[in-house]
Amino acid sequence: MATVVFADLVGSTGIFERLGDETAGRFVTQLTSALSVTFEQHRGRVVKLLGDGLFVVFPAEDDAVEACIAIQGWLQEHPVYAGDGNPVQIQMGVESGEVVEIDGDCYGDAVNSAARLADLAGAEQILTTQRVRDALAPVQRDQLRSLGPMFLRGKSEATEVFRVDWRVDRDDDATVMGASLFKTGKASRLELAGPGRTLRLDSHGEKLTLGRATGASLSINDGRVSRVHATVEWRGSHFVLSDTSSFGTWVYLGNQVEPVVLRRTECYLVGQGQISLGCPREAEAAPIVLFAVKA
């Protein structure tokens, strides 16, 4: 058993475009080398550098979570800039399980899941699973907030995903969705309100599509929206939103300030909230769809 961390630099493509390949390459190498030291101080072993990130293995879950929090905290207190006036940000995924080492590299389901969680995380976020949460001491466990069940790419069953609330000032924003999401849902209706149109989908209705194509169930003419950007369907006992886009989908559940960021992944829609297509809702004239699940 081992605990795997993937830590990825957010927006690395833009850094290379601004600084050029040579300068950006040196910048990213220096940054990942500095982060490697922090991981190693928490008993982590850097398996490989990934160009714009790191793949690290730990002997225990608490070491991995502590290392991730230490790095996010350090970047907050000592911001690093990459030429555009905005500080560098890291997104992280943590999972534990059986890991097989072959010729210095590591393989296994935990490796794949940690990579998917890092892809799913937003800037400055650390995402993990129930397996990691169960292994933590109570004081660390209290820092985790459930984002509900999600479908990680390549997995047929939903995984309950947790966000590590490492910033005290964000704690009030954390809305615990809770394990109750795993309970069998009652027949319900989903309402989607977009530009000039409101759609309704009941538990026996056909899949809806959101996108720029004129044939989409909810057509949104915006350059950030893919032709078929996302789909919504009733699956089992919940409404499932699936991202099929080029730029991703930002889902804001209830009163949560931080979104669930979908990139070719899925999540359940519960309660009410906002779906921002192709960009965060803070972006100028963001294409936003309101959703509400009703009994």
Mean of all residue pLDDT scores within the chain? 85
Helix (H, G, I), strand (E, B) or coil at 180: helix
What pLDDT is attached to residue 12?
73
What pLDDT is attached to residue 186?
53
Q: Do the beta carbons of residue 204 and residue 226 sit within 8 Å?
A: no
SS3 letters across 76-89: HHCCCECCCCCECC
Residues with Cβ within 8 Å of residue 81, at least 6 apart in sequence: 87, 88
CA 242 – CA 50 distance, rounded (Å): 27
Under the banding of pLDDT at 50, 70 and 90, the label for residue 25 is confident
Q: Quick one: average pLDDT of 8-17?
A: 78
The better pLDDT of the pair 80, 245 is held by: 245
Under the banding of pLDDT at 50, 70 and 90, the label for residue 66 is very high
- Beta strands in the chain, from DSSP E residues, in sequence order: 2-9, 45-49, 53-58, 90-97, 100-102, 105-107, 126-129, 144-151, 159-164, 189-194, 197-202, 208-211, 218-219, 230-235, 238-243, 249-253, 260-262, 266-269, 272-277, 288-294
The better pLDDT of the pair 155, 145 is held by: 145
What pLDDT is attached to residue 168?
56
For residue range 188-209, what is the model confidence (pLDDT) as tens digits? Answer: 789 999 988 899 998 888 899 9
What pLDDT is attached to residue 173?
39
The domain ranges of the chain are 2-181, 189-294
Q: What is the dihedral of CA 115, 119, 121, 125, to 10 degrees?
A: 60
What pLDDT is attached to residue 187?
53
The better pLDDT of the pair 181, 119 is held by: 119
Fold of 2-181: Alpha-Beta Plaits (3.30.70)
CA distances from 162 to 7, 212, 273 (A): 16, 32, 19
What pLDDT is attached to residue 237?
72
Fold of 189-294: Tumour Suppressor Smad4 (2.60.200)
What pLDDT is attached to residue 60?
95
pTM here is 0.66
What pLDDT is attached to residue 167?
75
Residue 176 has pLDDT above 70, yes or no: no
Q: Would strands 230-235 and 218-219 be described as parallel, antiparallel, or unpaired? A: unpaired
